Amino acid sequence: MRKLYSLIVLFTIVLLSSCAKDEVNPFGNIYGVVVNSNTSEPIQGARVTLTPTGKSTVTGNDGSYEFVDLEAGSYKVTVQADGYSSTVKNVTVVAGERAIGDVSLSAKPQNTKLGIDKDIVLFTKSIKTATINIKNLGNSGNIDWTITNVPSWLTVSPQQGSTGVGKETAVALSLNSSFTGQGNCILIINAAGESVSVTISADTTSDEGTGGNGDGGDGETSDDYSSAEIESCDPEIEVGITSCKRSGSTVIFKFYVINKKESDVSKIELESLYSGSQIVDDETYYDNTNTTIKFANKTTTSGYISTPLVKNTKTNGEVVVQGVSNNINKFNLIKLKFKSYDNNNPFIKDYIEFRNVPIY
């Protein structure tokens, strides 16, 4: 009897051990490397956003990124980097496995006149309209532009036009009411012998989406920033917070500026942390060695960004701060030196300030 009892106990232990080994991790990961499509060199600092989670990260010096502990299912990986055309990759996560999300980015042509404020737009069942702004970056004459390669399920208005020097023209994008399902296309904008492209991805089965280099489909979540204090450089310059989110030790703070003056501000300068801006939390006074400032599609780490502010137009900015401790849950101060050099439209103060900004 004692031998029989011992055999039963042993069999039970073996059975339980076998069951434990057969357990499958219910979550999976996405791992990838972002490279230059022409040279295969890794791209450092590319921003990678995951839909529908809203998670975001930046690539390391080897071009790699990773999202961990994801539920099984389909995801969109959106990759953006300065000087490159953005792209969207569909990746399927299987429980207990590591999905590969390698991405190749193509360098943008070095246009001298034609510009846009975003080069990727995602539509979902709750986001069916967006706006892109076509810019004349030249120093003389209008540019006449035309948008081609428009699919039947997308309405683009207007599809052609003319934009003056230093000006922008808003183009409205909307999904047709009869459209359901998924669709992808690349709009081509031609002007002055140059061309730029806008990647459009539509998925009406999804509730979340992201857009590149600005809002109008930027997919930011409705996190609460009402506790933050915001001080503008001028009563006629509206300033707001879009998001402030952590990915590991990197925090990406996004903000916007709207010129509500009677006319354009012809020139403003936004200075880096090296030149006059400041970022402070409970532990660290950050400097330009681990901080990048982006504004109006321009980037600086140790200088300044010079750009006009077009009347009644939202201009988006972003501050990428690396090396933020895990126990930090807010920025005490984000002070951006933000000066007008337009004598007809001077600012009252030479900075904008964000205080007590929560980090999500």
Nearest to 141 by CA among 118, 115, 166, 161: 166
Domain match, 95 and 125 both: no
Q: Write down the pTM of the prediction.
A: 0.44
Q: Which residues pair with 185 in a beta bridge?
A: 200
Average pLDDT over residues 8-25: 56
pLDDT value of position 103: 92
Average pLDDT over residues 335-352: 91
Domain count, the chain: 3
Q: Is residue 52 in a domain? A: yes
Domain assignment of residue 155, yes or no: yes
How far apart are the C-alpha atoms of 100 and 21, rounded to whole Å? 25
Give me the CATH number covering residue 53: 2.60.40.1120
Residue 179 sits in the same domain as residue 290: no
User: What does the pLDDT look like over 170-223, one tens digit per residue?
Assistant: 999 999 988 888 888 889 999 888 888 888 888 887 554 444 443 434 444 457
Mean pLDDT of 39-56: 85
Q: Can you give the CATH number for the domain in which 149 is found?
A: 2.60.40.10
Tokens standing for 251? 């925090």
Say whether both 308 and 259 belong to one domain.
yes
Residue 4 has pLDDT above 60, yes or no: no
Q: Which residue has the higher pLDDT, 40 or 21?
A: 40
Range of the domain at 137: 114-203
Structural domain includes residue 222 = no
Instruction: Examine the domain organization and report whether 46 and 121 are in the same domain.
Output: no
Burial 281-303 (b: 16+ CB within 10 A, else e): beeeebebebbbbbbbbebbeee
Report the distance separating Cα 56 and Cα 247, nearest Å: 6
> Tens digits of per-residue pLDDT, 70-91?
988 888 898 888 778 888 888 9
Residue 298 lies in a domain: yes
